[in-house]
Chains A and B, each alone.
Chain A
Amino acid sequence: MSQILATAISEFRIAFRNRWVLIATGMMVLFALVLAAAGSAPTGDVGVDRLSVTVASLTSLAVYLVPLLALLMSFDAIAGEVERGTLTLLLTYPVSRLQILVGKLLAHIVILALAVTLGYGAALVVAVWSDPSAIMGITALVRLIWSSVLLGATFLGAGYALSALARRPSGAAGLAIALWLVAVVLYDLALLALIITDQGGAFTTQALPIALLANPADAFRVFNLSAGQAVAAAGGIGGAAGAIPLWQSAASLFLSPLLAITLALAAFRKVTP
């Protein structure tokens, strides 16, 4: 345990010095504020409080931004150690590869949690300031925070796995960008295309829910939209959210970080210094 904590403290320090804490927090706050300001206009006809609407927009933001931040923080984690030549010495210490990974994960999760809490918190302040009753939506916001952290953990794990597979930071960065594009952008586009060609057939009713649960980014979106009251405000892929029971999207959210870390550990074990 002390090895994990020591690794986490060192990693946090490095991320702080490299301005990662500042960049991650700054990005989240900036985008959240923009959304909060834009989202404060169309409240009247939706019939829910202002914050819930903001949460719906923040969910769409988080689907793009949280995986991106997680991958940017994690792609260097193992490849960077290999390239600097620090891994050889580290592996002669009485610390297991799992402890190293969990230590790094812990530090990066704290940074992500800090960034999303401050970012969404800024949105909360804006919403409550213009409409005090918006505080009713606080549960949705809290749910968004912890589910964002779980989503981030999944992509951190995936980033470590790519970092271990690539063994060079440049290669790992390329793989990380490819993963982000596929998981967050292309996957949804492909699903939309299939829904349109399928026209409400077997794919839309049978395969689509599974396809949405299989991608952690979609599971996150589905979870937050179906748990909140603002499904109607979302539209798009979110429209399918109602068809998936809440426990299924929650299970996907909780299991995918474990799966990602398991993959990362398997890849890391194959790295010989």
Chain B
Amino acid sequence: MTPTLTISQLTKRFQSVEALKQVSLTLQPGRRAALLGHNGAGKSTMMKIILGLIPFDSGEVSVCGETPGSAAARRQVAYLPENVAFHPALTGEEQISHYLALRGENPRIAPELLARVGLAHAARRRIGTYSKGMRQRVGLAQTLIGRPRLLVLDEPTSGLDPVSRRDFYDLLDGLSADGTAILLSSHALTEVEARTDSILILSGGQLVAEGSLADLRTRAALPIMLLVRPAEGHAEALVAAFPEACVGADGLLRIPCAQGEKLPLLARITAWGPQVADLDVIPPSLEDIYSYFSRRDGQ
């Protein structure tokens, strides 16, 4: 299968600052990739290059086999900018009709698209009266026009309430099942964890990690934390038995352990039988993994 998006050795400079350094990645049809990175890591710059809005200095970018920004590429790519804006004097329906006409689609299906994002009731009101979440939904509606092959979404769920977020990811699932490749950036790591296939971490303009969450978890090899609650009166014995643990003010023993030593350590703890009141195993969170990769390169 030919990838929907191919980027190789992409470099972009703004005067003396290198915004992107030798970034390479591919995105297959139907895959959902999350682009993570702190503010200024180069996420928006990369998206603008993929859309052909700004030129790049070296490397190659191919969108559906076309040059980014060419008419053929633009026909197959839909974009949702961060903080999407529309003319306040137009109604939602008029705005979407306009976008439909620009893509050569029937402008009459605008109410249908707005209904898909839950805006049927406000379709005939001016966008100037919309809340931020409603504008974001208009932005989503326009990305659904004409079955795009690549969706580029810059912080698509900012301003959406939790229920709308779930509806939004359901929409994305439907699109990716139809073969649309999706590249989205987000700061909401838990959503990204549950609803995307792979994770790309940008840091200081470099792609520092790429893969599924399970891959990244293995590669980072961050310690697992075991929380042990001693039974009444046995705390001291346990503390003596596990010198590597640190004891919190809450009386819990926190024992860090590498992935491979988890089972032997569990066996050691359970051997204490009733002297252990409770045990929790805390795997490294997505935040931990994200911080690990984005800080590794001197950030």
Residues of chain A lying within 8 A (CB to CB) of residue B78: 92
**A11-19, A196-204, A235-243: which one contacts chain B?**
A11-19
B71, A91: Cβ atoms under 8 Å? Answer: no
**Please, how many angstroms separate the alpha-carbon atoms of A225 and B26 in the complex?**
67
| Of A10, A17, A92, A96, the contact of B98 (CB 8 Å cutoff) | A10
Interface residue? B104 (CB, 8 A): yes
Q: What per-residue 1/0 map shows which CB atoms of A91-103 lie under 8 Å from chain B?
A: 1111110000000
Interface residue? A206 (CB, 8 A): no
- Give the residue name and chain of the B residue nearest to A18 (CB): B89
**Please, how many angstroms separate the alpha-carbon atoms of A2 and B98 in the complex?**
10
Residues of chain A lying within 8 A (CB to CB) of residue B85: 84-86
- Give the residue name and chain of the A residue nearest to B107 (CB): A6
Interface residue? A130 (CB, 8 A): no
Q: What per-residue 1/0 map shows which CB atoms of B234-258 lie under 8 Å from chain A?
A: 0000000000000000000000000
Interface residue? B277 (CB, 8 A): no
**Please, how many angstroms separate the alpha-carbon atoms of A143 and B287 in the complex?**
72
Report the minimum CB–CB distance from B142 to chain A (whole Å). Answer: 8
Given contacts A14-B89, A272-B53, A272-B54, contact A94 B83 (CB under 8 A): no
**Please, how many angstroms separate the alpha-carbon atoms of A242 and B213 in the complex?**
82
Report the minimum CB–CB distance from B44 to chain A (whole Å). Answer: 10
A2, B101: Cβ atoms under 8 Å? Answer: yes
**Please, how many angstroms separate the alpha-carbon atoms of A93 and B96 in the complex?**
13
Main secondary structure of the interface of A (DSSP, over half): helix
Tell me the B52-91 residues at the A interface (CB within 8 Å). Answer: 52-54, 71, 74-75, 77-79, 81, 83-87, 89-90
Count B-side interface residues using an 8 Å CB cutoff: 30
A94, B87: Cβ atoms under 8 Å? Answer: no
Residues of chain A lying within 8 A (CB to CB) of residue B107: 6
Tell me the A3-42 residues at the B interface (CB within 8 Å). Answer: 3, 5-7, 9-10, 13-14, 17-18
A6, B71: Cβ atoms under 8 Å? Answer: no
Interface residue? B103 (CB, 8 A): yes
Interface residue? A88 (CB, 8 A): yes
Residues of chain B lying within 8 A (CB to CB) of residue A17: 89-90, 126
Interface residue? B281 (CB, 8 A): no
| Of A14, A85, A86, A95, the contact of B102 (CB 8 Å cutoff) | A95
Count A-side interface residues using an 8 Å CB cutoff: 24
Residues of chain A lying within 8 A (CB to CB) of residue B75: 94
A93, B89: Cβ atoms under 8 Å? Answer: no
- Give the residue name and chain of the A residue nearest to B71 (CB): A94
Report the minimum CB–CB distance from A120 to chain B (whole Å). Answer: 29
Q: What per-residue 1/0 map shows which CB atoms of B138-165 lie under 8 Å from chain A?
A: 0100100000000000000000000000
Residues of chain A lying within 8 A (CB to CB) of residue B54: 272-273
Interface residue? B130 (CB, 8 A): no
Top-7 shortest CB links A-B: A6-B101, A17-B89, A85-B85, A94-B74, A92-B79, A94-B75, A10-B98
12 contacts between A and B (CB under 8 A): A5-B101, A6-B102, A7-B102, A10-B90, A13-B94, A14-B87, A17-B89, A18-B89, A89-B79, A92-B52, A93-B103, A272-B54
Interface residues of A (CB under 8 A from B): 2-3, 5-7, 9-10, 13-14, 17-18, 84-86, 88-89, 91-96, 272-273
List 14 extra interface pairs beyond A6-B102, A13-B90, CB under 8 A. A2-B101, A9-B98, A10-B87, A14-B87, A14-B90, A17-B90, A18-B89, A85-B83, A89-B139, A92-B78, A93-B74, A93-B103, A94-B75, A95-B102
